[in-house]
């Protein structure tokens, strides 16, 4: 946990609320589509961005990684800190290391 809390503007906090409220639409449900942006891996990165919790679930395949990428695109800019960017790089690397890319090339 970060012992040095940040001060956010009203606009930034409103973007946080919008982002998190949109994610709640799929909370607790399992769905798989080309628009999916929730799942264990993407939720773990969101928890890192908002709570500073370590990422325990990295994606295993391209579907999970795509959900992380879609989440990251929608994540408010002020939440895209160095540790979140590093977690996204770890997520990408995890898929390549597990062979979850199914023959795709970098």
Instruction: Determine the Cα–Cα distance for residues 106 and 15; give it in Å rounded to an integer.
Output: 33
CB atoms within 10 A of CB 37: 21
Determine the Cα–Cα distance for residues 76 and 56; give it in Å rounded to an integer: 22
In this prediction the pTM is 0.82
**pLDDT digit string, tens, across residues 78-92:** 999 999 999 999 999
Give the mean model confidence (pLDDT) for residues 88-104. Answer: 79
Whether pLDDT at 97 is above 80 = yes
Distance of CA 47 to the CA centre of its chain: 8
The CB density around residue 53, as the number of other CB atoms within 10 Å, is 13
Domain segments of the chain as ranges: 10-98
Which range, of 23-32, 42-51, 79-88, averages the lowest pLDDT? 23-32
CB 95 within 8 A of CB 60: yes
Tens-place pLDDT, residues 48-67: 999 999 999 999 999 899 99
Residue 6 — very low, low, confident or very high, per pLDDT cuts 50/70/90? confident
């Amino acid at each position: 946990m970060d012992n040095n809390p940040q001060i956010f503007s009203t606009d930034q906090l409103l973007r946080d609320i919008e982002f998190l409220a949109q994610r709640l639409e799929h909370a607790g449900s399992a769905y798989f589509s080309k628009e999916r942006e929730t799942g264990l891996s993407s939720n773990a990165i969101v928890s890192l961005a908002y709570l500073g919790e370590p990422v325990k679930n990295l994606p295993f395949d391209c579907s999970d990684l795509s959900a992380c990428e879609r989440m990251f695109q929608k994540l408010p800019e002020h939440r895209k800190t160095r540790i979140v960017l590093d977690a996204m790089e770890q997520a990408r690397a995890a898929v390549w290391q597990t062979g979850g890319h199914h023959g795709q090339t970098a």
